[in-house]
């Protein structure tokens, strides 16, 4: 089961996850549906984010559901684009074109949630 | 895709659901290639009807289906439907069905920027294409509203989804939770305009009934009332009232009532097959016994009889009937008789559905409902009449001879049956108690018997140790009916009178005999007298002749002495 982080524990949880998973500990998958402007925006945003905040410790896969529709069910995708943070736990789904960097960083536990 | 083709068709093409009542109600099924909204409150059977639509589509109509569940996991679904007799996993393995559980977990989802539901479209599209689905169920898509906050996007996407489903040419059911003021909580009816079916689950007088109503069906006529339906181990049953027409074929075959006396009152062979018989009477007038005779006769012919008992248990009826010499136990063991004993506590419609199901399962040729009076406690007179009308129509269509008993309460007129059902019946037997001479006796009237000459006479109805017997009743000197011991008394009296008459007539014939003897004696005397006279007369005649001969002889002698002529030879011979 996923452990729900308490507001103050974010950093601790993050660091714990970091030690547990070792190298390449961020596993991200971006699910897109074809070459739409939203898709492109999302890809750019994710790449930028990874390079700026997760350099050297992330794994990113970009999945085009138009090419691999069977993966939508397996990954429980509803909306597009969706960025799934599989590791570190907890699992998070970020839906949208990721044009709000702050929200994305918070959702990925890279920035403390504002209180 | 098919849309334009369909418009050129005079009648809207329909996808049969396989749920019999629903197909009759909708005139053939749901609108083909279009989405249908199925809405209702929690627990009223939305998921079940939707799944039934897919399962029957896959198994009966060769149309594979996709079930997209937003609330239940696929394993849970499969488990739920196994208890209803459908093994979903088998259908999935045969590629006739695709199950997809869409998990919408609010805590996992963060919205960051603009999005659409293309993921869901692709997912659904993939499932449809993979098995060539013609049917789709989305149960319940409103769950998306609880997972996603941007309702503007959601609404736009739902509108697109329904249009997309139409373009795909799939017949879809979209379920929706009943809202406070609108049909569905999130106003899905706004998007699905072709067909809206509403389910309801109401409790009235402590009895809960599930009902179905077609709110809207664009381009098709449909039943508009609320129709009850039942969920049990066989799935869904729905009973539309209007689907039954008066089209049944009337049989001229006759079935024995089990009582030779009663058959004789109807001109010999008994009831027409497929007719409905009402036996009404006061308490203890022998309605159940009459029914038991009918059942026993059916069993003896090897026909199956289904007995709905609403007052007594099966064992109580068989015990009681043994006391009048009817062995129903044997018929039960032979499989010719089945009892369905139940207190009428659930709703009227539930009973109707139960009776339907039982009849369809057992396939009887004869049905006994004992008594229908108990239904009146479950609804208004109009409802009961409507229910019985449907029941009778159903039996007639199945060519089932049905016997209904009805209890008439003491205070009411005997011919005033409950719920005014007598006009629906083909044969009406009235059992009545007659009180006279400090005893109550049962009599039977054949008030009506459609399509056959029948006796207009009252019969006395006797419950004996070897069954029911019908006896002619006597009219007393004042024209009153005589039954029971009064009848027995009259019978004895008549017997005595006839003895007297017999004695009188034998006395007369003896007198006649004597007279005849006297007359004959007189005749003999006269004849004797005559004999005497005759003898005397004959003697006189003989003497006269002798004298004449002597005279002639004397003359011949005198002639000879006178030496007259030679004597005539004749005279000589005569003398010799």
pLDDT at B133: 92
Q: Give me the percent of chain B exceeding a pLDDT of 90.
A: 20
A71-80, B184-193, B393-402 — which is least confidently predicted? B184-193
Q: Give me the percent of chain B exceeding a pLDDT of 70.
A: 88
Q: Between A and B, how many CB-CB pairs are < 8 A?
A: 104
pLDDT at B415: 54
- Using pLDDT thresholds of 50, 70 and 90, give the confidence band for residue B9: very low
B73 touches chain A (CB under 8 A): no
Q: What is the mean pLDDT of residues B102-107?
A: 87
pLDDT at B334: 86
- In tens, the pLDDT along B122-135 reads 999 999 999 999 99
Q: What is the mean pLDDT of residues B468-479?
A: 73
Residues near A74 by beta carbon (within 8 Å), at least 6 away in sequence: none
Looking at per-residue pLDDT, the higher value among B531 and B394 belongs to B531
Fold exhibited by the domain B2-244? Rossmann fold (3.40.50)
Could you tell me where the DSSP H helices lie in B169-210? none
- Find how far residue A84's CA is from the centre of its chain: 4
Interface of A with B in 4-43 (CB under 8 A): 4, 31, 33, 38, 41-42
Nearest CA in chain B to A93: B109
B92 touches chain A (CB under 8 A): no
Q: What is the mean pLDDT of residues A34-45?
A: 89
A90 touches chain B (CB under 8 A): yes
Q: Domain residues of chain B, as ranges?
A: 2-244, 254-472
Is the pLDDT at B576 greater than 50? The verdict is no
Question: Contact B110/A94, CB-based, under 8 Å?
Answer: yes
Q: Evaluate whether residue A114 is within a structural domain.
A: no
Q: Give me the percent of chain A exceeding a pLDDT of 90.
A: 6
- Find how far residue B92's CA is from the centre of its chain: 43
B117: buried, middle or exposed (CB in 10 Å: 19+, 13-18, 0-12)?
Answer: buried
Separation between Cα atoms, residue B501 and residue B439, nearest integer Å: 32
- In tens, the pLDDT along B226-256 reads 777 777 666 777 765 544 555 667 778 888 8
- In tens, the pLDDT along B286-344 reads 888 889 989 988 888 889 999 998 888 888 888 988 888 888 888 888 888 888 888 77
Q: Evaluate whether residue A113 is within a structural domain.
A: no
Residue A47 belongs to a domain with what CATH number?
Answer: 3.40.30.10
CA atoms within 13 A on the CB side of B161: 32
Question: Contact B110/A107, CB-based, under 8 Å?
Answer: yes
- Using pLDDT thresholds of 50, 70 and 90, give the confidence band for residue B418: low
Question: Contact A69/B126, CB-based, under 8 Å?
Answer: yes
- The total of other beta-carbon atoms located within 10 Å of residue B392's CB is 22
- Using pLDDT thresholds of 50, 70 and 90, give the confidence band for residue B263: confident
- In tens, the pLDDT along B333-374 reads 888 888 888 877 666 777 777 788 788 788 899 999 888 877
Separation between Cα atoms, residue B176 and residue B348, nearest integer Å: 28
pLDDT at A7: 54
Instruction: Name chain A contacts of B131, Cβ cutoff 8 Å.
Output: none
Domain count, chain A: 1
pLDDT at B3: 42
Is the pLDDT at B506 greater than 80? The verdict is yes
- In tens, the pLDDT along B421-444 reads 777 788 888 888 877 777 778 888
pLDDT at A30: 92
DSSP track, B2-50 = -HHHHHHSSS--EE--S-HHHHHHTTSSEETTSEEEEEE-TTSSHHHHH
Instruction: Calculate the average pLDDT of chain A.
Output: 80
Nearest to A4 by CA among A115, A110, A111, A109: A109
Is the pLDDT at B6 greater than 50? The verdict is no
pLDDT at B4: 42
Fold exhibited by the domain B254-472? Rossmann fold (3.40.50)
Separation between Cα atoms, residue B151 and residue B145, nearest integer Å: 7
pLDDT at B8: 44
pLDDT at B248: 67
Residue B428 pairs in a beta bridge with: B278, B448
- Using pLDDT thresholds of 50, 70 and 90, give the confidence band for residue B207: low
Q: What is the mean pLDDT of residues A45-61?
A: 86
Separation between Cα atoms, residue B358 and residue B308, nearest integer Å: 9
- Using pLDDT thresholds of 50, 70 and 90, give the confidence band for residue B206: low
pLDDT at B5: 42
Instruction: Name chain A contacts of B116, Cβ cutoff 8 Å.
Output: 33, 38, 79-80
Looking at per-residue pLDDT, the higher value among B353 and B277 belongs to B277
B108 touches chain A (CB under 8 A): yes
Is the pLDDT at B375 greater than 80? The verdict is no
Is the pLDDT at B539 greater than 70? The verdict is yes
Residues near B537 by beta carbon (within 8 Å), at least 6 away in sequence: none
Q: What is the mean pLDDT of residues B511-530?
A: 93
Is the pLDDT at A37 greater than 80? The verdict is yes
B3-7, B153-157, B289-293, B427-431 — which is least confidently predicted? B3-7
Looking at per-residue pLDDT, the higher value among B542 and B223 belongs to B542
List the domain range (segments joined by +) for residue A48: 25-107
Q: What is the mean pLDDT of residues B498-508?
A: 88
Nearest CA in chain A to B125: A69
Q: What is the mean pLDDT of residues B518-546?
A: 92
Give, in degrees to the nearest 5, the angle at Cα B476 between B470 and B479: 105
Instruction: Calculate the average pLDDT of chain B.
Output: 82
Residues near B44 by beta carbon (within 8 Å), at least 6 away in sequence: B199, B200, B201, B210
A111 touches chain B (CB under 8 A): no
B31-35, B121-125, B184-188, B234-238 — which is least confidently predicted? B234-238
pLDDT at B572: 47
Instruction: Name chain B contacts of A41, Cβ cutoff 8 Å.
Output: 113
A46 touches chain B (CB under 8 A): no
A58 touches chain B (CB under 8 A): no
Looking at per-residue pLDDT, the higher value among B33 and B485 belongs to B33
pLDDT at A4: 53
Helix/strand/coil for B103: coil
Looking at per-residue pLDDT, the higher value among B389 and B31 belongs to B31
């Amino acid at each position: 089961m996923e452990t729900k982080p308490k507001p103050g524990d974010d950093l601790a949880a993050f660091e714990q996850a970091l030690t547990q998973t070792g190298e390449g500990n961020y596993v991200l998958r971006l699910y897109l549906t074809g070459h739409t402007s939203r898709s492109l925006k999302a890809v750019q945003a994710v790449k930028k984010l990874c390079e700026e905040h997760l350099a050297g410790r992330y794994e990113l896969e970009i999945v085009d559901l138009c090419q691999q529709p069977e993966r939508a069910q397996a990954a429980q995708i509803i909306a597009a684009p969706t960025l799934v943070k599989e590791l570190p736990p907890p699992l998070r789904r970020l839906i949208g074109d990721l044009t709000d960097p702050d929200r994305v960083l918070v959702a990925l536990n890279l920035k403390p949630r504002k209180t | 895709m098919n849309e334009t083709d369909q418009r050129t068709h005079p009648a809207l093409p329909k996808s049969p659901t396989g749920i019999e009542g629903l197909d009759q109600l909708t005139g053939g099924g749901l609108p083909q290639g279009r989405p249908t909204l199925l809405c209702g409150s929690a627990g009223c059977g939305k998921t079940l009807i939707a799944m039934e639509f897919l399962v029957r589509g896959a198994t009966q109509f060769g149309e594979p289906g996709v079930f997209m569940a937003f609330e239940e996991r696929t394993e849970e679904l499969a488990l739920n439907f196994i208890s209803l007799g459908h093994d979903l996993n088998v259908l999935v393995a045969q590629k006739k069905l695709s199950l997809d559980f869409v998990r919408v977990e609010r805590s996992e989802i963060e919205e960051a920027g603009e999005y659409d539901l293309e993921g869901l479209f692709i997912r659904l599209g993939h499932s449809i294409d993979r098995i060539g689905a013609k049917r789709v169920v989305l149960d319940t898509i409103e769950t998306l509203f609880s997972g996603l906050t941007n309702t503007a996007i959601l609404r736009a996407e739902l509108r697109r989804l329904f249009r997309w489903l139409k373009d795909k040419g799939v017949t879809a059911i979209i379920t929706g939770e009943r809202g406070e003021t609108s049909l569905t909580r999130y106003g899905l009816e706004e998007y699905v305009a072709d067909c809206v079916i509403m389910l309801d689950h109401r409790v009235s007088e402590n009895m809960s009934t599930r009902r179905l109503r077609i709110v809207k069906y664009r381009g098709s006529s449909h039943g508009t009332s609320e129709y009850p339906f039942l969920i049990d181990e066989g799935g869904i049953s729905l009973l539309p009232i209007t689907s039954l027409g008066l089209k049944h074929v009337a049989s001229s075959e006759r079935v024995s009532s089990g009582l030779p006396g009663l058959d004789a009152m109807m001109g010999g062979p008994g009831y027409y097959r497929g007719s409905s018989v009402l036996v009404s009477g006061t308490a203890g007038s022998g309605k159940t016994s009459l029914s038991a005779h009918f059942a026993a006769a059916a069993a003896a012919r090897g026909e199956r009889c289904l007995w709905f008992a609403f007052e007594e248990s099966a064992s109580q009826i068989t015990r009681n009937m043994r006391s009048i010499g009817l062995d129903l136990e044997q018929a039960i063991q032979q499989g010719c008789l089945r009892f369905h004993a139940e207190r009428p506590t659930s709703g009227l419609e539930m009973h109707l559905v139960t009776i339907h199901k039982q009849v369809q399962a057992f396939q009887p040729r004869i049905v006994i409902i004992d008594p229908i009076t108990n239904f009146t406690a479950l609804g208004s007179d109009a409802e009961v009449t409507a229910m019985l009308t449907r029941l009778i129509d159903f039996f007639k269509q199945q060519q089932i001879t049905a016997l209904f008993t009805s209890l008439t309460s003491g205070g009411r007129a005997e011919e005033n049956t409950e719920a005014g059902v007598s006009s629906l019946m083909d044969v009406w037997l009235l059992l009545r108690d007659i009180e006279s001479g400090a005893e109550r006796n049962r009599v039977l009237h054949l008030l009506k018997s459609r399509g056959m000459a029948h006796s207009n006479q009252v019969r006395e109805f006797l419950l004996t140790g070897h069954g029911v017997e019908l006896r002619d009743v006597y009219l007393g000197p004042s024209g009153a009916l005589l039954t029971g011991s009064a009848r027995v008394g009259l019978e004895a009296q008549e017997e005595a009178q006839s003895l007297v008459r017999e004695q009188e007539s034998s006395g007369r014939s003896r007198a006649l005999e004597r007279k005849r003897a006297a007359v004959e004696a007189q005749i003999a005397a006269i004849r004797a007298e005559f004999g005497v006279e005759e003898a005397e007369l004959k003697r006189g005649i003989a003497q006269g002749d002798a004298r004449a001969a002597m005279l002639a002889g004397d003359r011949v002698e005198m002639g000879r002495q006178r030496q007259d002529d030679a004597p005539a030879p004749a005279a000589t011979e005569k003398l010799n």
